Structure 1
Amino acid sequence: MVSNEISYRLDEFVIIEHSSVVLTWVKHMPFGGQRSGQCHRLDNILVMLPWDHEGPGYLKWEFHEYSMQLPRWTKTHYYCFASSLCQGGIAQGLSTEEIRQIAGGESSHELVKVPESGSFQLGRYKITIHRSNFISWLTIGGLNKTIGGTCFIESDIIFLGPQENESETKQRRLFFAELKLLPLWDKTVAWGHAGSLKICEKFKNQSPSYSAPWNPEPKKISIKDNLIFLQSEGSSEEKFREIKESGIDWLKNIWTRVYRVVW
């Protein structure tokens, strides 16, 4: 090891700091091989770029013994892989050059410490900043159900927490139509899912909190509203015969016309 290099252990990785500036990760591979790549510190997150070198290394037990002799990595609370981060406002991944620019403070993004309340579009997600200063996400999941959860911001990156809520509403087209009308999310430099953010060993008892009083309520549709809609469409007498139908059959016909629901 060169005199100006310091090595640390971070789970199954060895992190090498070169002259307190350049960071490299190293990981053991089968049959005595190893892979390595660059890292960048984004404030409190160590971001690992894809591997760019492969060569001979230690055997598995040798690598483990060597890494256990190293001090723990404690210069960030979290780490993640670059492939898990996306550009703010869209679903496209961050490039290596973009991560380097963010780490070097060359990004043109202006950090918003106290964002105003409101709703925004982030890919297929609706992000809402509430007056109580917590942030929630909402989208359409399987079986056209509305699902949601909470978010947190760490190191100018917004992370979407796990699903916490589910609604029986099936207004997929309406949801995405309204989503397109919202301004793009521009409050952070990037975004990702909380599951991709890993806690460094020393701080594993300090996991972020996802709890928040968010409870989506399905939009209530009254019979009166449906009648007004049918009349405004210039419906014929034949269409109004549907009103005489009873129970679920009547509701299915109305919902099919209003929301294009396929039963």
Structure 2
Amino acid sequence: MRITTYRLGERRIVQAGDGLWWEAHAGIGALQSGRCIVRGSLLFLFPSEREEPGYLKREFLESLHGLAEWDRTKYYCSNYSIHDCRSGRRLTDKEFFEWPRYRAVSIDHCDSWASVSRGNPHSLDARSFKLGQHEIIQRNGQWWWNTCSVSGTLREGRCAVEGEILFFGVCERAESGGLKESFLERFRHLPQWNSTNLFCPSCAIYDCRTGENLIGLEEDMHLAGPAVIPDGGVPIPFAKTASPLPLAMHSPPSAPFRTPRRSSCVDSTLSLLEGLAGKAFAEIHRMKEGVLKWRMRRKKRSLEMQNHRFHVKKWIAWGGVVILMVRFLLLFLHRLWECAGHHPEHHEHSADRHRRN
């Protein structure tokens, strides 16, 4: 079986008979790996599936220097979320990996992640569709998304079709001022989006050569904001970022993706110290948690012992009360018995006196 390896940033891409795999350094002397899949001009990196002993970080990076750069795709994607366009359901990694080849999209789209003129997404020659609670607009080969929040703020940003998947970019502009009614009225008459089977509302897409994030910060893409769902649409999260984040690359296309050069000995020592410090902090945290749990158990036992003593004292008091009541009852019955025994003798003495008289 032929195995080919490539370099992609600080990852190793391995092409074997069973498909594509990525490998990366993790922790102290550890190596994590996961599957990859190519969709169009995108390389999707699946989450890590296994971790095994490997190299120190600097040693692993040095092992990548002699490998050829990954050039089968222009971009790679991580931290993604793929959904079905009809139901809005999120696909699992297994479903996405086994998803059949999609039909060819019947849309005119260019390289939407490249630098293009902004233009007006609401011009007369624009085509619009609806996908869940978003309006998808096309103008001059550039795709835009529009949505309206609960407060009536109209948000918009760019999107792109890559690998026959519709990707949503970050929010680039927010406009308020009585636009909710007009948006909903226009939205009701839009045709359904059917050019792709899948869409991706949150992801991080990088250029394979420069490592530049073409959508925006990863943490921004996973923040979902409130929005109106018109006519029972499927909810689709969107980024809260209102500041313009251009999708174009900021670095020159010719700039290669390079790792910083440092001394191997210093890097190995720093990695070792960082790992030891992390383990020490984790051990201290576990010790603190153990002491806290021990104190809680001791306090709980003390409270249980106090409750037990209280119940014992209570039953002793009630037992004393019952004993006193029984003694008083016996004394009362004894007095009654004595009174009942003296009355017949008194009647007999009275009868003898009458006879003598």
Asked if the contact 1:89–1:184 (Cα under 8 Å) also holds between the matched residues in 2, the reply is no
Letter of the structure 2 residue corresponding to residue 53 of structure 1: R
Q: Aligned residue for 1:26?
A: 23
Summarize deviations over 1:101-121 as a string: whole Å, max 9, x none: 44x52x4x4422448963222
**Alignment of 1:121 onto 2:130:** yes
**Alignment of 1:54 onto 2:51:** yes
**Alignment of 1:146 onto 2:154:** yes
Over the matched positions of the two proteins, sequence identity in percent amounts to 26
Deviation of 1:170 (Å): 4.5
Letter of the structure 2 residue corresponding to residue 191 of structure 1: F
Deviation of 1:147 (Å): 1.4
Summarize deviations over 1:185-221 as a string: whole Å, max 9, x none: 22123223586111102696x99x859xxxxxxxxxx
Summarize deviations over 1:143-190 as a string: whole Å, max 9, x none: 542111232222212222333332122455774576466443221232
Match of 1:93 among 57, 80, 90: 90
TM superposition score normalised by structure 1: 0.64
Letter of the structure 1 residue corresponding to residue 138 of structure 2: I
Letter of the structure 1 residue corresponding to residue 78 of structure 2: F
Task: Answer 1 or 2: which has greater strand percent.
Answer: 1
SS at structure 2 position matched to 1:61: helix
Q: Aligned residue for 1:184?
A: 192
Asked if the contact 1:15–1:23 (Cα under 8 Å) also holds between the matched residues in 2, the reply is yes
Deviation of 1:129 (Å): 2.6
Between 57-66 and 164-173, the greater mean CA deviation after superposition = 164-173
Match of 2:11 among 13, 29, 34: 13
Asked if the contact 1:83–1:94 (Cα under 8 Å) also holds between the matched residues in 2, the reply is no
Q: Aligned residue for 2:166?
A: 158
Q: Aligned residue for 2:204?
A: 196
Deviation of 1:82 (Å): 6.3
Letter of the structure 2 residue corresponding to residue 111 of structure 1: V
Letter of the structure 2 residue corresponding to residue 18 of structure 1: A
Q: Aligned residue for 1:232?
A: none
TM superposition score normalised by structure 2: 0.49
- Quote the Cα distance in structure 2 between the aligned partners of 1:66 and 1:58: 9
Between 165-174 and 153-162, the greater mean CA deviation after superposition = 165-174
Between 37-46 and 75-84, the greater mean CA deviation after superposition = 75-84
SS at structure 1 position matched to 2:96: helix
Asked if the contact 1:120–1:185 (Cα under 8 Å) also holds between the matched residues in 2, the reply is yes
SS at structure 2 position matched to 1:201: coil
SS at structure 2 position matched to 1:8: strand
Task: Answer 1 or 2: which has greater helix percent.
Answer: 2
Asked if the contact 1:77–1:203 (Cα under 8 Å) also holds between the matched residues in 2, the reply is no
Q: 1:16 to 1:167 in 2, by over 3 A?
A: same
- Quote the Cα distance in structure 1 between the aligned partners of 2:192 and 2:79: 22
Asked if the contact 2:146–2:157 (Cα under 8 Å) also holds between the matched residues in 1, the reply is yes
Deviation of 1:81 (Å): 2.4
1:75-90 → structure 2 map (5 Å cutoff): 75-81=72-78, 83-89=80-86
- Quote the Cα distance in structure 1 between the aligned partners of 2:208 and 2:84: 24
- Quote the Cα distance in structure 2 between the aligned partners of 1:199 and 1:171: 36
Between 45-54 and 81-90, the greater mean CA deviation after superposition = 81-90
Asked if the contact 1:33–1:54 (Cα under 8 Å) also holds between the matched residues in 2, the reply is yes
- Mark the runs of 5 or more structure 2 residues left unpaired by the alignment: 110-124, 216-245, 249-357
Asked if the contact 1:152–1:210 (Cα under 8 Å) also holds between the matched residues in 2, the reply is no
Q: CA RMSD in A?
A: 3.4
Q: 1:174 to 1:122 in 2, by over 3 A?
A: same
Asked if the contact 2:79–2:204 (Cα under 8 Å) also holds between the matched residues in 1, the reply is no
Between 60-69 and 87-96, the greater mean CA deviation after superposition = 87-96
- Quote the Cα distance in structure 2 between the aligned partners of 1:48 and 1:14: 12
**Max Rg structure:** 2
Deviation of 1:8 (Å): 0.9
Q: 1:210 to 1:64 in 2, by over 3 A?
A: closer
1:58-77 → structure 2 map (5 Å cutoff): 58-77=55-74
SS at structure 1 position matched to 2:170: coil
Report how many aligned residue pairs link the two structures: 203
Q: Aligned residue for 2:332?
A: none
SS at structure 2 position matched to 1:74: coil
